[in-house]
A and B are shown apart, each in its own frame.
Chain A
Amino acid sequence: MELTSPALEDRELMRRVQQDDRAALAELFERHHRTVHGLLARYTGDLTRADDLVQETFLQVWRSRQRYQEQGSFRSWLVTVAMNKLRDAAQRDQRRRETPLEHDVPQDHRTPAELPQRVQQAVGALPESQRSVLLLVKYEGLSLAEAAAALETTPAQARGRLCRALETLRGKLGAKPT
């Protein structure tokens, strides 16, 4: 049996998903849900919400399975889907910002105590365009090209944003050369 790289295997699994194979998507979930969860948890600062968004992301993969094209890695396409889910959720939150008393109240965002506050706060204070690139590249291990594709921008712009993010963080975190 010919050995295949994980990227090829992902594509093969996605081909099966496109033929309505739910077990193949369950396998992709098993492989990638931690990565997606990490991204969403860092983005939202809310582990429970990240759990839900992970499920929504993979359900969206199922619903959009016929739109998947084998250009680029499956992971960067998955991240694109997750980022779209995040945007949808943010828009929903925006609509819920001010609520009459006798109805619903805005969502509370948990700040997990185990997260190092300074790094979390510093990253959280970055402009969204910079924060997105940083989270994808630093924590999810995407290349600049993959991150740029996921964020619908160019690699050059992604590089510029990452650089500005790192500069800002250096100022905020006060890192000294080791």
Chain B
Amino acid sequence: MTRCPSAEQLAELASGLAGGDARDALAAHVEGCPQCSTQLAALAATWEQLDAWQVAEPRSGLAAEFRLLLDAEPQTPVAAARRAEVPWRLWLAIAAALALVAVLPAVYFNGNGATLALAAGKIEVRDSVGDAWRPASLVTGGQSVRTIGAATLHAPDGSRVELQSGNISRLDPSGTGERLHLFVEAGRAEFDVAPDARAFVVETTAGQVRVVGTYFGVEASAARPDLLVAWVQRGKVEVSNDRGTTVLEAGQCCCCARRAGPAEQRFEPGGLVFVRNEHHPTVAFLARVHSTSPQGVRVTVRGQPQDLPYDRVFVRPLKQGLPVQVSVRTGQPLRPATLIRVIDNKVQVRLPDGVHRVEPEAVHIEVDSK
């Protein structure tokens, strides 16, 4: 090759994509051409620099989670399912009718149809009158179950309950083949509810979670019986207590206290929450939720992730016109302002000198955070 190669050819050579005869010809030219040699060396160095960008591994357990999601997928290929598609209004009507059917048996039946069979691990059970725990492979209505290590239980409809070590739950006798009702006294439990299950109700002292066809978890603490933590991985659940009801969707989490409605305690990735100042309980700043877990909320504070327990974080609806204190730039003193809206990850506020967009962390709000 006598003519200098094109920039594209040099880039191919630098990135190792040139092959065979073309590569040899290019290399031969470059060897005798100082200009091309310099350019190739710079491109090759850039290509190597890119190796510095490594990303972390996927989270552990992703394959197991995927298997659960895959198991919940219908067998029918989507294309075939689409052919059989019916208008959404009809589905809505069918869903409403099914919901009614699912609720009615709970009202009119009071049998002992609820059972959970041990699928993995060890459990002990005791009935409502006995005081001794005994090994078991089946839990029936009215019995309490205690796990030794982690255990998995199967419901007749294919739903699965994963109980954390030390979990104590009670299978309510009012549960029937149509409806399972589990009361979690202490510990964490995760539920993979079959899509065609009629209804599944999980209750703790602090509230209730009702679900059809989803993957979710519930944790109740013996030390804090007023708190219920529910998180949803797939599908939807409805969380309720005597102060209200909220629907959680995939990725959302709720730390539900008895004294407040669940909607006020719903966390979701990307959502804004208040983080209570440790030293000044009535002062809070806004932060963005990164992720949620049974242990608490990960928020982004000044660009850094920070894990906070649920008692440091709370959600309130943000209302336009809310009086706030903001520091427009880092280090500047707080100034009174009013909230306008959230846009592009920033909070828009009105100050005497005009409208400003500030970082959520710069907005301080004096609230009764109790």
**A101 closest partner in B (C-beta):** B318
Q: Is A34 an interface residue (CB 8 A)?
A: yes
Shortest distance from the beta carbon of A166 to any chain B beta carbon, whole Å: 5
Given contacts A51-B58, A102-B318, A178-B41, contact A59 B345 (CB under 8 A): no
- Classify the interface of chain A: helix, strand, loop or mixed: helix
A63 close to B77 (CB less than 8 A): yes
Q: How far is the CA of A120 from the CA of B17 in the complex (A)?
A: 22
Q: Is B67 an interface residue (CB 8 A)?
A: yes
B77 close to A65 (CB less than 8 A): yes
Chain A: interface size category: 35 or more
**B11 closest partner in A (C-beta):** A163
Q: Is A26 an interface residue (CB 8 A)?
A: yes
Residues of the A chain whose Cβ atoms lie less than 8 Å from the Cβ of B67: 26
Size of the B side of the interface (Cβ < 8 Å), in residues, is 64
Shortest distance from the beta carbon of B135 to any chain A beta carbon, whole Å: 32
Residues of the A chain whose Cβ atoms lie less than 8 Å from the Cβ of B63: 26, 29-30, 33
Residues of the A chain whose Cβ atoms lie less than 8 Å from the Cβ of B58: 33-34, 37, 47, 50-51, 54
Shortest distance from the beta carbon of A14 to any chain B beta carbon, whole Å: 14
Q: Is B7 an interface residue (CB 8 A)?
A: yes
Shortest distance from the beta carbon of A50 to any chain B beta carbon, whole Å: 7
Q: Is B8 an interface residue (CB 8 A)?
A: yes
A105 close to B271 (CB less than 8 A): yes
Q: How far is the CA of A67 from the CA of B67 in the complex (A)?
A: 22
B77 close to A119 (CB less than 8 A): no
The interface stretch among B43-51, B107-115, B160-168 is B43-51
Q: Is A20 an interface residue (CB 8 A)?
A: yes
A42 close to B11 (CB less than 8 A): no
Q: Mark A108-130, 1 if CB is under 8 A from B, else 0.
A: 10111111100110010000000
B55 close to A41 (CB less than 8 A): yes
B345 close to A102 (CB less than 8 A): no
Shortest distance from the beta carbon of A19 to any chain B beta carbon, whole Å: 11
- What are some 23 contacts across the A-B interface (CB < 8 A)? A30-B63, A41-B55, A48-B290, A54-B66, A58-B70, A59-B73, A63-B73, A99-B343, A101-B317, A101-B318, A102-B317, A102-B319, A105-B271, A105-B342, A114-B56, A137-B15, A138-B50, A159-B8, A162-B15, A163-B10, A167-B43, A176-B42, A178-B45
